[in-house]
Amino acid sequence: MRGWLNGSIAATSYPVRRNTILLSLCLLVLSGVLQLIVAVATITLVLVTGIESILGLGPAIFLVAGALAALPAGRLMDRLGRMPVIAGGFAVGSIGCCLTALGCAFDNAALVVFGFLAVGAMSGSVLLARTAAADMVPPERRARAISYVLFGALFGAALGPLVFRPLFAGKDLELDTLVIPWFAAAAIAVLGIVLALSIRPDPRTIALELHLADETSVPHAPAAPLGEILRRPGVPSAVIAALASFTVMVGVMNLTGYIMVGHGHDQADVFTVISLHIVGMYALVLVIGELIDRVGRRQALVSGLAIMAVSAVVLAWAESIAATSVSLFLLGLGWNVSYVAATAELISHATPVERGRLVGSTDLAAGLLGAGFALLGGAAYTQWGVAAVAIAAAVAVVAPALAIVLARRPPAEALEPAR
């Protein structure tokens, strides 16, 4: 990592290493807050409404909010810079966690829903930090740059067992039990604001310098229409992989807590499985990022989706904590491979003033699809059980993988060389 960062610094006078570490810490904070969302979002809404049939609605609200926030957040990033938007996302998320805590304290469903909307908006904004990571390096190092920042989320996996699990241990799962964990998540999000505001200069500034240093670039070229960007060679396959991997990952992940409780496990045990899922998402990210840059993004798109298909097969028969952990670990690992490759590919086909909008629009579509999967998956689970969720997940990743394999390989010319 040190050699790569030093190489980046050699290309610019800006503190790339420091910014990369701080971006990684931002993902650590987000990961910690999201663990609580994944573990108790379904339970929270069911308890506050008393309606079990809407168990998929909690994650759906969160995911829709994140999706709807991603595109405007991306547009603002292209205009104002990356970090003001990320800091604002953390602020909104902290407020959302407080609203959810108050909703649990006063048995108020409206407060819980507004809280979920705000926390979802935080996720949609902060996840765009991977764009900031790629801003600071040349094209051939972008997958690694994204992986270094995402690596921070791995350490956020420790917050579930260390912070949240003790708050649930030995307690009945009631609304009063959820109040303190949600306030704790609000405090964690405040730390994210401090970290984001500490990143200077803004990665967009560095991206513009690198772009202008490229002799093939057009200085001060305006952003192309989104439709034109989406038609560029290589972009459709990356978008398809990003949509499929994110949809299935968040859909299955957000249903895991309720599925485990349905198997007779304690709510506190969910944090163990979710932590291993996050390990799968990020533990090997440093190796995977470098591997993607070496073997090519197209191969990585398909490989990641294939690993997710294996995860779905394991989920179909998993009942123990160990088996469920294996399924969720593979789910995270497959997402890691395909999503990092997709993001690197998208950014390589966009200029610094187009990247936020392109990645944001992809996140918008992925989040809406993920919300739909969580909502329909929750209904399917209550009607037919885990097998229905597993089969839907497998189909949702296998079909796009086949489409990418059968698609014509894009020509070499692009805004920047794509592998």
281: exposed, middle or buried (C-beta count within 10 Å: 0-12, 13-18, 19+)?
buried
Residue 411 in domain? no
In a domain, 6, yes or no: no
415 belongs to a structural domain? no
pLDDT at 113: 92
How much is the pLDDT for 56? Answer: 66
Structure tokens given for 50:
């008393």
So what's the pLDDT on residue 53? Answer: 65
Q: Is residue 379 included in any domain, yes or no?
A: yes
Given a contact cutoff of 8 angstroms between Cβ atoms, the answer to whether 355 and 301 are in contact is no
CB-CB contact of 282 with 153 (8 Å): yes
One-letter amino acid at 236 equals: P
What does the alpha-carbon distance between residue 87 and residue 25 come to, in Å, rounded to a whole number? 13
The CATH number assigned to the domain holding 171 equals: 1.20.1250.20
For residues 211 and 350, the answer to whether their CB atoms sit within 8 Å is no
Q: What is the DSSP string of 302-323?
A: HHHHHHHHHHHHHHHH--SHHH
Residue 8 confidence (pLDDT) = 43
Number of compact structural domains in the chain: 1
**Structural domain boundaries enclosing 240:** 13-406
Q: Are 147 and 285 in contact (CB under 8 A)?
A: yes
Res 416: pLDDT: 47
Q: Using CA atoms, how far apart are residues 131 and 74, in angstroms rounded to an integer? A: 9
> Taking the chain, what is the end-to-end CA distance rounded to the nearest angstrom?
21
C-alpha to C-alpha distance for 43 and 172, rounded to whole angstroms: 12
Q: Is residue 230 part of a domain?
A: yes
Gap between the Cα atoms of 252 and 381, Å rounded? 11
Which DSSP letter does residue 223 get?
P
Closest alpha carbon to 48 in 178, 143, 156? 178
7: in domain: no
pTM value is: 0.75
pLDDT on residue 2: 45
Do the domain assignments include residue 334?
A: yes
Residue 175 placed within a domain = yes
Work out the burial of residue 173: count CB atoms within 10 Å of its CB; fewer than 13 is exposed, 13-18 middle, 19 or more buried.
middle
Low-confidence residues of the chain: pLDDT under 70: 1-12, 52-56, 157-161, 169-172, 211-221, 267-268, 408-419
